[in-house]
Structure 1
Amino acid sequence: MKLVNGFKLMEYGKENGLLLPAFNTTNYEVTKGIIDGFDAMGLGGYIAISSSNLKLSSPKIIADMVNSVMKDKSTPVSLHLDHGKSFKDVKACIDAGFTSIMVDASHLSFEENIKEVQRTVEYCHFFDIPVEAELGAIQGKEDDHVLEEDAKTSSEDVREFVEQTGCDLLAVSIGNVHGMELTPNLDFPLLDEIVKKSSVPLVLHGGSGIPFDQVRKAKKRNLIKVNYGSDLRQAFIRTYGKAYEQNHNEFNLMGLSQEAVKNVMGRVESIIEEVNVK
């Protein structure tokens, strides 16, 4: 199946009452595990890669890899740039065939964040590609970026930000964190205030550490997308770590890689099932 446009995927999610998971990839094995998991569950979502992970490859390599695995699949999947840190990365990803974009200018001032998102929206909408923006800062470790400060989204800024930027999804900071080293504590009263002010659906980053009952609770508050990365990376890395602990002379890379794909796939399946329990 061809990659699905991000707007179409959002329509699919809304029509079917789904919370769309976004799974971050880094390499071929994780990519295959994610897409196999989507297909096995028969429910669509996003496969994503962040700007920082593009240091290991390129947008075209990622897109070619994803398209290769998707050839014999029948589940709707969008290829998403996660935490796009530069306009250069945004353009390169669109040129490569990405179907959904996030621009993360949350580290800038409110005014500069708006300007950067506006520029990205204007460009992406020319190609009918939706744009996710972030308001507020999410504490924790995202790949090689560490943010110690927890700056929650201000509900008072939401309406102006969405109207001024023209973004199609809004990632919010409500006590969610990146990575597995900090404990998330979702602020539902704040989320309720944000929902009142936002005319676009919301996104929650840092899903790996959030209890599923809280994710499902947030789903009822105009949440359309939740991001997972650390869960899958742990499943992948532990496959090789366990093998090394058992045998320091282990060299069966092919066998371990196939096992890693299955382990990632299993984690994807369990997450999809949990976030969309009726």
Structure 2
Amino acid sequence: MPLVSGLDVITECGERGLVAGAFNTTNLETTMGIVAAIDRVKVPTFIQVAPTNVALSGYAYIYDMVARRLEDTDVPVALHLDHGKNLQAVEDALAADFTSIMIDASEEPYDENVRISAIARGLTPATLALEAELGSIGGKEDDHGPEIESTTNPAQVEDFVRAVNPDMLAVSVGNVHGYSPTAAIDFDLLAQVRDASAVPLVVHGGSGLPAEQLSRLAEFNVVKVNVASDLRNAMIRTFGESFNANPNEVSLIRVSTEAVTAIADVVERRIRTLNPSVA
């Protein structure tokens, strides 16, 4: 199936009462693992990449790699720009035919976040999905973390959504990028944000949240949950364990195939955790 708009993913998930996983890729093995899991569980999904990872290959390569792997898949999948920190990233992803966009100006003062996010809305065709962020999510991803961390202020949500007109709103409600022993959703705060938002919500930092919290997110109009660190750790761990077992290992294809399997298993578990009703 060709890539679909992020709007199609969130619409189908909303109709079916599902939460879409959003899984970060960087290379072929990660992409293959993600797609293998999608084929197993048949839940609409986002595959995404952040500008920090695009530095390895470029946006067009990511598009070609993901689109090719999805040719024989019958599940709706969108290719999403994760944490576009500036308008140039938005323009570059759109030029490479990404089908879903995130603008993240959450570290800016509120008015500047609104201004930049609204420009991104103007750049993003109405047929594609736009995610914006209100409240700056803490933690680190690929050794990059925000200079400013702040929780989402429910009193700002209605005005922000009206001014920017995003299709999804990323929120900071106790979730943290990467692995953190203190990461925990503040469900009272999440409920306040949900009640104030006219659009569905996005939770980043899915790798570090306990399963019992992830399985509740659909109750709070969360339509997308980002998972990155779990996948990267699965790949790095596979190669590390292989090297430790045999420092003279030279079968790259065997270890790479094992990494694909490990990543697929992680993705499948996360999708099923987010959607307990999925058989």
**TM-score category by the smaller chain?**
over 0.9
Structure 2 unaligned residues grouped into runs of 5+: none
SS in 2 for 1:101: strand
CA contact (8 A) 1:22 1:227 kept: yes
Say yes or no: does 1:70 pair with 2:70.
yes
Distance 1:70 1:125 in 2: 23
Q: Residue 201 of structure 2 corresponds to which residue in structure 1?
A: 202
Dislocated runs of 4+, deviation >3 Å: 147-150
SS in 2 for 1:241: helix
Shift of residue 186, structure 1, vs aligned partner: 1.2
Distance 1:109 1:182 in 2: 29
Name the aligned partner's letter for residue 104 of structure 1: D
SS in 2 for 1:125: coil
What do residues 193-228 of structure 1 show as CA deviations (whole Å, max 9, x unaligned)?
111110000000000111121122222011101000
Percent of residue pairs bearing the same amino acid type: 42
Q: Residue 259 of structure 1 corresponds to which residue in structure 2?
A: 258
SS in 2 for 1:53: helix
Q: Residue 273 of structure 1 corresponds to which residue in structure 2?
A: 272
Distance 1:169 1:106 in 2: 14
Say yes or no: does 1:211 pair with 2:210.
yes
The correspondence of residues 222-237 of structure 1 with structure 2, limited to 5 A, is: 222-237=221-236
Shift of residue 148, structure 1, vs aligned partner: 6.5
Q: Residue 55 of structure 2 corresponds to which residue in structure 1?
A: 55
Say yes or no: does 1:26 pair with 2:26.
yes
Shift of residue 277, structure 1, vs aligned partner: 0.3
Distance 1:264 1:227 in 2: 15
Moved more, 29-38 or 145-154: 145-154
Q: Residue 242 of structure 1 corresponds to which residue in structure 2?
A: 241
Distance 1:6 1:218 in 2: 19
Name the aligned partner's letter for residue 81 of structure 1: L
Q: Residue 4 of structure 1 corresponds to which residue in structure 2?
A: 4
Name the aligned partner's letter for residue 9 of structure 1: V
CA contact (8 A) 1:140 1:148 kept: no
Shift of residue 11, structure 1, vs aligned partner: 1.1
SS in 1 for 2:30: helix
Distance 1:203 1:184 in 2: 16
Distance 1:154 1:239 in 2: 41
Distance 2:186 2:11 in 1: 27
CA contact (8 A) 1:142 1:178 kept: yes
Q: Give the TM-score normalised by structure 1.
A: 0.97
SS in 2 for 1:144: coil
SS in 1 for 2:17: coil
CA contact (8 A) 2:107 2:146 kept: no
Distance 2:219 2:77 in 1: 22
Q: Give the TM-score normalised by structure 2.
A: 0.96
Name the aligned partner's letter for residue 117 of structure 2: V
Shift of residue 28, structure 1, vs aligned partner: 0.7
Distance 2:61 2:149 in 1: 34
Shift of residue 144, structure 1, vs aligned partner: 3.2
Distance 1:175 1:19 in 2: 19
Distance 1:218 1:13 in 2: 13
SS in 1 for 2:150: coil
Distance 2:14 2:72 in 1: 25
CA contact (8 A) 1:195 1:221 kept: yes
Cα distance change of structure 1 residues 215 and 67 upon mapping to structure 2, 3 Å threshold: same
Shift of residue 182, structure 1, vs aligned partner: 4.2
Cα distance change of structure 1 residues 182 and 83 upon mapping to structure 2, 3 Å threshold: farther
SS in 2 for 1:81: strand
CA contact (8 A) 1:52 1:144 kept: no
Distance 1:107 1:74 in 2: 38
Distance 1:195 1:272 in 2: 22
